[in-house]
């Protein structure tokens, strides 16, 4: 479901931002509220307090009558906010329109009133990072997952061996006696070298199945397993986009949530498209192909000239706040919506990654 005025959205998508392009006049109320999974009974109380503050601000700072302010906020006050997975929710209301958006990660309480919706604070929830794959591999089990920052889903690979034993069912090792320097002896299935050969063959069969399944993909592949098995797979795989940092650990003892957490930690440390975009903006600074002034960015967005828009994380973080939407945030929020509606890619970057002299944002132009 896309983000439609007067409706709740079940997930946040890039294309949903275009719905805000019709919100050309205020006042607009933007409310971000965390959800307390331990005390969900407190959520309605927090929402009521936020709406009361917004009502007072609409009357005192924006000249609305009490009844007009109540009409703007009525859909939010009357809505039944069922708990949703994630860390919170965002509400936006203006005369004649409103939107509720469940958020996939935690948000601090933020309430602002201004001439535009505060979409900058939505960006960290929207940018889910790259899609990537996770291969969990042990001698007992192999599984492929598709994931991004917020989700992980098993992928069915029909030819994927489910275990070393299943892959090498045709091999029967006779127990051999191995003697250690201490004099102790034990039996093993064909000896240590044969066992390593079996693992290598197993990993080869796993790789053949995974590489075939990902033949048309350019997504990164993260490998999780005990150290030598994961490293052996990474060093021998034919998949060109494998991440060379393994996730150490036995996945037999991890659920999907733990696998997701561990694999995303590796992915988050990899250079992403936002770093490439920031480097390009720095390289183009002063050439006329990159702009750093907020007003110029908004004008460029209006012409459909922005290819990539970089926003400082100092403006997108959810630090607790109650107040008015200032001019810079208003201008940049509108620029983000306009740029997205014309196909621009938007990235959140650390302030120090912006070109020299850029305080809030930078844009790489198409022409």
Give CA–CA dist 112/91, Å, rounded: 11
Share of the chain above pLDDT 70, in %: 84
281 and 295 together in one domain: yes
Q: Starting at the edge strand that comes first in sequence, how are the strands of the sheet with 290-291 ordered?
A: 290-291, 361-365, 306-312, 345-349
Domain carrying residue 100: 1-127
Q: Which of 231, 236, 194 is nearest to 211 (CA)?
A: 236
| Half-sphere exposure at residue 36, Cβ-oriented, CA atoms within 13 angstroms | 11
Q: What is the CATH number of the domain that holds 4?
A: 3.30.960
140 and 18 together in one domain: no
Final residue in a domain of this structure, among 80, 107, 127: 127
- Residue 9 confidence class, pLDDT cut points 50, 70, 90: very low
pLDDT digits (tens, 9 = 90+) for 300-339: 999 999 999 999 999 998 789 999 999 999 999 999 999 9
Domain count, the chain: 3
176 and 199 together in one domain: yes
Q: Which of 266, 265, 288, 282 is nearest to 350 (CA)?
A: 282
149 and 262 together in one domain: yes
pLDDT score of 5: 42
What sign does the dihedral 298-301-306-312 (CA atoms) show?
A: positive
243 and 138 together in one domain: yes
- For the segment 35-53, the average pLDDT, to the nearest whole number, is 78
pLDDT digits (tens, 9 = 90+) for 122-143: 998 887 777 899 999 999 999 9
Q: What is the CATH number of the domain that holds 364?
A: 3.30.1330.30
pLDDT score of 305: 97
Write down the residue that tokens 């859909």 correspond to: 75
pLDDT digits (tens, 9 = 90+) for 206-235: 999 999 999 999 999 999 998 789 999 999
pTM: predicted TM-score of the whole model, two decimal places? 0.73
4 and 73 together in one domain: yes
167 and 250 together in one domain: yes
11 and 114 together in one domain: yes
281 and 201 together in one domain: no
Q: Average pLDDT of the chain? A: 85
Final residue in a domain of this structure, among 127, 156, 180: 127
Q: What is the CATH number of the domain that holds 236?
A: 3.30.420.60
304 and 331 together in one domain: yes
pLDDT digits (tens, 9 = 90+) for 55-102: 999 999 999 999 999 999 998 888 765 555 567 889 999 998 998 888
Final residue in a domain of this structure, among 93, 127, 161: 127
239 and 312 together in one domain: no
Q: How far is CA 349 from each of CA 24, 132, 261, rounded to the nearest angstrom?
A: 27, 20, 22
190 and 87 together in one domain: no
Q: Dmax over Cα atoms in the chain, in whole Å?
A: 92
């Amino acid at each position: 479901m896309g983000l439609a005025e007067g409706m709740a959205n079940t997930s946040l998508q890039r294309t949903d931002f275009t719905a805000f392009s019709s919100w050309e006049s205020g006042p607009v109320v933007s409310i971000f509220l965390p959800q307390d999974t331990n005390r969900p009974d407190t959520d309605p109380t927090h929402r009521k307090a936020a709406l009361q503050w917004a009502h007072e601000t609409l009357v005192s700072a924006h000249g609305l009558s009490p009844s007009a302010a109540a009409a703007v906020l009525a859909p939010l006050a009357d809505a039944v906010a069922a708990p949703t997975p994630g860390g919170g929710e965002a509400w936006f209301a203006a005369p004649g329109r409103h939107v509720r958006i469940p958020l996939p990660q935690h948000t601090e309480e933020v309430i602002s009133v201004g001439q535009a919706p505060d979409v900058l604070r939505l960006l960290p929830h929207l940018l889910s990072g790259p899609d990537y794959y996770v291969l969990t591999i042990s001698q007992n089990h192999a599984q492929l997952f598709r994931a991004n920052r917020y989700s992980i889903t098993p992928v069915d690979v029909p030819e994927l061996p489910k275990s070393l034993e299943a892959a090498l069912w045709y091999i029967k090792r006779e127990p051999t006696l191995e003697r250690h320097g201490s004099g102790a002896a034990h039996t093993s299935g064909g000896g240590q070298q044969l066992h390593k050969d079996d693992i290598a063959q197993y990993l080869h069969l796993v790789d053949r199945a995974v590489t075939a399944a990902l033949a048309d993909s350019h997504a990164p592949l993260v490998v999780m397993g005990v150290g030598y098995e994961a490293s052996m797979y990474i060093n021998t795989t034919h998949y060109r986009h494998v991440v060379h940092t393994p996730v150490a650990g036995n996945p037999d003892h991890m659920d999907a949530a733990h696998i997701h957490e561990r694999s995303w930690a590796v992915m988050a440390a990899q250079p992403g498209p936002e770093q490439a975009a920031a480097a390009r903006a720095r390289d183009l600074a002063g050439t006329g192909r990159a702009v750093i002034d907020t007003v110029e960015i908004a004008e460029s967005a209006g012409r459909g000239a922005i290819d990539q828009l970089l926003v400082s994380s100092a403006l997108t973080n959810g630090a607790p706040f109650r107040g008015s939407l200032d001019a810079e945030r208003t201008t940049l929020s509108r620029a983000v919506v306009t740029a997205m509606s014309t196909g621009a890619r938007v990235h959140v970057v650390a302030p120090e990654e912006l070109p020299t002299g850029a305080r809030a944002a930078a844009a790489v132009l198409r022409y």
